[in-house]
Amino acid sequence: MKAYFWFPLILLLSGSLTLFANENAERPNIVIFLADDLGWADVGWHGTEIKTPNLDLLASQGVKLEQFYVQPVCSPTRASLMTGRHTFRYGLQNVVRPWADYGLPTEERTLAEALRDAGYYTAITGKWHLGEVEKKYLPLQRGFDYHYGFYRGAIDYYEHTASGVGGLDWHRNGKPLREEGYSTDLIADDAVRVIKNHDDVKQPLFLYVPFNAVHGPYQETPEKNLYEQYTDLKGTRKIYAGMIASMDNAVGQIVKALEDKGIKDNTLIFFSSDNGGPQPKVVTDNGPLRGGKATLYEGGLRVPAFVVWPGKIKPDTVTEQPIHIVDLYPTLIGIAGGTLEQKLPLDGIDLKELFLENKPLARKEIPLYSIPNMGAIRVGDWKLVRSRTQNMVAAIEQPGLTNNLESKTELFNLADDPNEKNNLAESNPEKLKELFDRLEAYTKQTVTPLGSKPRSPDYKPKEVWGYFD
């Protein structure tokens, strides 16, 4: 064939490749770090005695989200992130127990599915905790091209067995995996492997890294210096500090892999915890915020968070605007060039203009949690908490007990009282009624929690989870 025939064809193909490369260049890689049970004050930029140099440096490169809300426990936060919808709409207001016969409802479209449809390679290294009783609930069936880690809520950091029930819970792409190592280190190593092996010219990357750190069991890290440096800390708090240091190192290792690959400047990075710290002032530290994990006070719902996007988000910035984790879904899909057309309506809103220009959000109302007779809502600076018990897990799992308790309604002005010390319910009856009515409107939309049926005495964990094949 004549050479002159190939010349325009080569030009056409090279032009197509250039357009394809430019299209990918406009769409950033996306990396989400999700810590587990990290206290609000247990990061360097909130003044803790615990050192988090890698997180501090990364946070300084973007915008710190100082009023970032999540759900009060693990699974609901992960579900909110994955769906952009409040969990009271589909009954996932509680943790998915190891013996649960449900998972994130398959009618829900996930963030991974939306980003994969937009052309992204999707990978998760770490904790899933959105159901595993059937194959349809697993990560590879919910939009991820690659999975490494564990399915349930907590594992032994060395044995990789499910905490409290036993049985191996460590997998790669649906196959049980037996390997040695501290889980935080293994999760980081695998995330680095994903980055190194990824063809970033062919397609952008969505990497979800939900650590099991620093959730219990509290186990010393292999590197003794990580906790021995804290000579003023004692007992579990000292071990916890070392576990945070290990996670901080893991984040630094993954960010370095992005730099070595030459793609960090085209990567959007998000970090937060999944809920407030448990056992505040004993193990974790939520600073001045009231309450902790499983409560509807700020210490249970507000977490350290930031977003970095080089060249787009101005470094060393802070926003005090209230944001909810459901907002990440439409924001990231929009940035990725994906579609938000779907069967189920979204609760989240697009934060791109807030991130890039710190524009005020039009939304003034955020339902923070809802089950029958218990919930919380924020409207402007005002927040209402309604409960029969401080612990929402008890309200779901022991309704007979909690329903016999007197209902308690508290009203706070977070602008004047961010630590929720002064209940203004009696002195502000009109504002109380306004927020109560708004919360009741969401209560009417609330699906009864799938909850957690009692553990059967005959329950036995699956020792090897290859039984789906």
- Residues involved in catalysis: 74, 129
Q: Report the helix count and the strand count for the chain, using DSSP H and E.
A: 13, 17
CB of 174 closer than 8 Å to CB of 134:
no
CA 271 to chain CA centroid, nearest Å: 8
402 token code pair = 């909690």
Distances (CA, A) of 196 to 120, 145, 172, 205, 301: 16, 16, 17, 11, 35
Tokens of 189: 């190593």
Within a 13 Å sphere around the CA of 344, how many CA atoms are in the beta-carbon half? 16
Q: Which residues contact 394 (CB under 8 A, 6 or more apart)?
A: 401, 402
Strands (DSSP E) found in 153-245? 171-172, 175-176, 205-210
Query: Phi and psi at residue 84, in whole multiples of 5°?
Result: 70, 15
Which residue type occupies 269?
I
Beta strands at 323-324 and 29-35: parallel, antiparallel or unpaired? unpaired
Q: What is the DSSP string of 246-289?
A: HHHHHHHHHHHHHHHHT-GGGEEEEEEESSPPSSBTTTB--TTS
Spell out a b/e string for 90-103, using b for 16 or more CB atoms within 10 Å of the CB, else e: bbbbbbbbbebebb
The single residue listed with the structure tokens 């999975």 is 147
The answer to whether the CB of 370 falls within 8 A of the CB of 447 is: no
Length of the chain as a residue count: 469
Residues 6+ apart with CB under 8 A from 429: none
The answer to whether 178 touches 172, Cβ cutoff 8 Å, is: no
- How far apart are the C-alpha atoms of 36 and 128, rounded to whole Å? 11
Alpha-carbon gap, residue 74 to 211, rounded angstroms: 12
Task: Provide the token pair at 251.
Answer: 């984040």
